[in-house]
């Protein structure tokens, strides 16, 4: 379970009648355990941010190769900006359903669509859903986000986003913690073992709004922007073994070639 940190101050909310205290209490409540029976998946683990691993150089040392193999088996929690090498990527504006769009007159809070294919919301608790077809196997399902506004050092540093995956029934329900930045895109994801191929929908709901109020001279404002969502098929162990074997062979050939060149020069 992930216990979210409470925001530094109450965020704006005029979407529904829930009080901020109620929302924070719900965030701090333990999420229900997920039954592993009669469901087409099993949860492997929970992640905030992760980095995209690169294969070692063909001239890398055996220690580098061993480190690479270990990294392939485990998901890192180091930040990355952003996740771009996924099996399936959808623009933030390519949602299958949303809570609602922002309306100016009469004023209704909601999502705002941008011309670059992204969406953002200045108000918490609005959600957006994305649907795609997933095959059987292990998938990393997540989103790339940035802040559409102005933050300040040590004022607001983490987006808390509820992630729910479903097909005909809800399969996962967890909270992702993703670094917030005006300048960089960060991502968070859930790793899920899909046992049955089919159409799956992931819903993302932002939880922790924060606003510097009208008199704030710095005009600070946290507004989550969804740049894209991704569904990345995790390679099977056999594929990882072949990749590692190829790296070892390349390293061996490089060393043999170097020794042969040195012998000719001698």
Residue 12: per-residue pLDDT:
42
Residue 103: per-residue pLDDT:
96
Residue 250: per-residue pLDDT:
75
In the predicted model, residues of the chain with pLDDT beneath 50 are 1-79
For the stretch 192-242, pLDDT in tens is 999 999 999 999 999 999 998 888 888 999 999 999 999 999 998 755 555
Asked if the structure places residue 206 within a domain, the reply is yes
Residue 141: per-residue pLDDT:
97
Q: How far apart are CA 82 and CA 79, in angstroms?
A: 9
E strand or H helix that includes residue 178: strand 170-179
DSSP, collapsed to helix, strand or coil, labels residue 14 as coil
Asked if the structure places residue 240 within a domain, the reply is no
Q: Provide the residue range defining the domain that includes 130.
A: 20-54+72-234
Residue 87: per-residue pLDDT:
96
Q: How far apart are CA 148 and CA 121, in angstroms?
A: 8
**Tokens matching residue 43:** 């949860």
Cβ atoms of 48 and 160 within 8 Å: the answer is no
Cβ atoms of 160 and 229 within 8 Å: the answer is no
Residue 242: per-residue pLDDT:
58
Q: What is the pTM of this model?
A: 0.63
Residue 228: per-residue pLDDT:
98
Q: Sort residue 207 into left (φ over 0), alpha (ψ -120 to 50) or beta.
A: alpha
Residue 214: per-residue pLDDT:
84
As to burial, measured by CB atoms within 10 angstroms (0-12 exposed, 13-18 middle, 19+ buried), residue 266 is exposed
Concatenate the DSSP letters of all residues of 236-251 into one string: PHHHHHHHHHHHHHHH
Q: How many domains does the chain have?
A: 1
Residue 44: per-residue pLDDT:
43
Q: Where are the alpha helices (DSSP H) in the chain?
A: 20-28, 62-73, 237-265
Asked if the structure places residue 242 within a domain, the reply is no
Q: How far apart are CA 4 and CA 264, in angstroms?
A: 63
As to burial, measured by CB atoms within 10 angstroms (0-12 exposed, 13-18 middle, 19+ buried), residue 144 is buried
Asked if the structure places residue 259 within a domain, the reply is no
Residue 196: per-residue pLDDT:
93
Asked if the structure places residue 88 within a domain, the reply is yes
Q: How far apart are CA 254 and CA 93, in angstroms?
A: 47
Count CB neighbours of 265 within 10 A: 6
Residue 170: per-residue pLDDT:
83
CATH code of residue 26: 2.60.120.260
Asked if the structure places residue 28 within a domain, the reply is yes
Q: How far apart are CA 27 and CA 208, in angstroms?
A: 9
Q: How far apart are CA 114 and CA 226, in angstroms?
A: 10
Q: How far apart are CA 110 and CA 101, in angstroms?
A: 5
């Amino acid at each position: 379970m992930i216990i979210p940190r409470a925001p530094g101050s109450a965020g704006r909310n005029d979407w529904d009648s829930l009080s901020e205290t109620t929302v924070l209490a719900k965030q701090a409540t333990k999420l229900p355990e997920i039954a592993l029976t009669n469901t087409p998946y099993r949860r492997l683990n929970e992640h905030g941010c992760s980095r995209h691993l690169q294969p070692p150089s063909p001239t890398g040392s055996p220690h580098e190769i061993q480190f690479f193999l270990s990294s392939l088996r485990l998901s890192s929690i180091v930040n990355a900006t952003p996740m771009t090498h996924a099996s399936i990527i959808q623009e933030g504006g390519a949602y299958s359903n949303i809570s609602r769009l922002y309306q100016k007159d009469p004023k209704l809070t909601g999502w705002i669509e941008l011309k670059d294919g992204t969406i953002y919301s200045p108000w918490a608790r609005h959600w957006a859903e994305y649907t795609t077809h997933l095959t059987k196997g292990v998938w990393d399902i997540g989103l790339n986000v940035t802040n559409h506004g102005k933050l300040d050092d040590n004022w607001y540093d983490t987006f808390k986003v509820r992630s729910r995956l479903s097909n005909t029934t809800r399969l996962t329900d967890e909270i992702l913690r993703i670094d917030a930045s005006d300048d960089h895109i960060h991502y968070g994801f859930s790793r899920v073992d899909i046992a049955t191929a089919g159409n799956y929908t992931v819903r993302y709901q932002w939880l922790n709004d924060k606003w510097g109020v009208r008199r704030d001279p710095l005009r600070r404002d946290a507004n989550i922007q969804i740049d894209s969502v991704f569904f990345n098929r995790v390679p099977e162990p056999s594929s990882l073994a072949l990749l590692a074997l190829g790296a070892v062979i390349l390293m061996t050939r490089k060393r043999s070639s170097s020794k042969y060149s040195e012998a000719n020069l001698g």
